[in-house]
Amino acid sequence: MKPKVFIAVSVPPEIEKYIAKHCDYRKWEGEGTIPQDELLKEVSNVEGLLIQGIKIDKKLLDHAPNLKIVSNVSVGYNNFDIEAMRDRGVIGTHTPYVLDDTVADLVFGLILSTARRIPELDQYVKQGKWKKSDETNLYGTDIHHSTLGLIGMGRIGEAIAKRGKFGFDMDVLYYNRTPKPKAEKELGVSYTHFKELLQKSDVIVLMTPLTSETANLIGANEFKLMKKTAFFINTSRGQTVDEGALLEALQTKEILGAGLDVYQQEPINPDHPILRLPNVVTVPHIGSATAKTRQDMVKVAAENLVKAVTGDKRQNIVKDLAYINPDKV
């Protein structure tokens, strides 16, 4: 008898066929995110759940007594209530590796767009404001041979460092929970303390996961340490930054500009004052949003799901749940 699973995200036909070959499945047929009341009905007798960003908490687990695995179509997993999942012996998986280069490309898109004022000057041309006499009012900031500071040096951080070092001849500093000598040797990057990184960097990229330790990691004090010519890029999670402090730092010229892919509230309120600032480049949480990468992520997530529920093997388990006894899964 095939294990029962529920697919709560849109998947390509070939991925659905792959899951069908190994599992008895149902899927969400509606538009957008499945309503919670519908999801709670669907999980009542399933062993596996394929999701993207849906909160996995005690309430959902109470409705899913047979659940063994939650497969998240994301590298992040702050939607997992780790303690509740540990208590129930439910493992959670994610999709590392496949999106590293795609996110790193976006980071440099934000860096260049912010420093060279590309969106702002695009509108300047389209609105007919460009005059032959324009010169200094069109100036941007060089990225090449500047100093890049990375807060968080995981796989994506290393991909960003590689682009900065070898593509733009940047000096690359990084801060991480633990130094990474191998990356230092291979990429020519330098480990530095948190405050020193903030003080020395021309471009600061925040790439930490969202945890209790990283919530509001960057606030008013941190912005005050940055150069007044610095650019701040956030492609981690919106909750890692005090958004009010960021707004004030931009309005008072504590920093020169910012590039944002993530926000405390998503979608961001269209009336948020940060959206009216010309020195801020904003995109709608598109770090991994290319057709190929998203398809690859879904493929990996489906494999994570099937391998766990069929007893083949377990892969890409989030580290906080990796200890769970495989005999229970």
Query: What is the phi/psi pair of residue 23, to 5°?
Result: -135, 155
CATH number of the domain located at residue range(s) 100-282 in this protein: 3.40.50.720
Q: What is the DSSP string of 170-227?
A: -EEEEE-SS--HHHHHHH--EE--HHHHHHH-SEEEE-PPP-TTTTT-B-HHHHHHS-
| Residue spans in the chain of domains classed CATH 3.40.50.720 | 4-96+291-328, 100-282
Q: Is 285 a catalytic residue?
A: yes
Candidates 63, 155, 272, 285; catalytic one = 285
Q: Return all residues near 33 (Cβ < 8 A) that are at least 6 apart.
A: 53, 54
Task: Say which DSSP state 244 is in.
Answer: H
Rounded distance between C-alpha atoms, residue 82 and residue 80, angstroms: 5
Q: Is 266 a catalytic residue?
A: yes
Candidates 94, 117, 237, 294; catalytic one = 237
Q: Is 237 a catalytic residue?
A: yes
pLDDT per residue rounded down to tens, the chain (329 residues): 899 999 999 999 999 999 999 999 999 998 889 999 999 999 999 999 999 999 999 999 999 999 999 999 999 899 999 999 999 999 999 999 999 999 999 999 999 999 999 999 999 999 999 999 999 999 999 999 999 999 999 999 999 999 999 999 999 999 999 999 999 999 999 999 999 999 999 999 999 988 889 999 999 999 999 999 999 999 999 999 999 999 999 999 999 999 999 999 999 999 999 999 999 999 999 999 999 999 999 999 999 999 999 988 889 999 877 655 544 44
Rounded distance between C-alpha atoms, residue 215 and residue 234, angstroms: 13
pTM for the complete prediction?
A: 0.90
Domain 4-96+291-328 has CATH 3.40.190.10: no
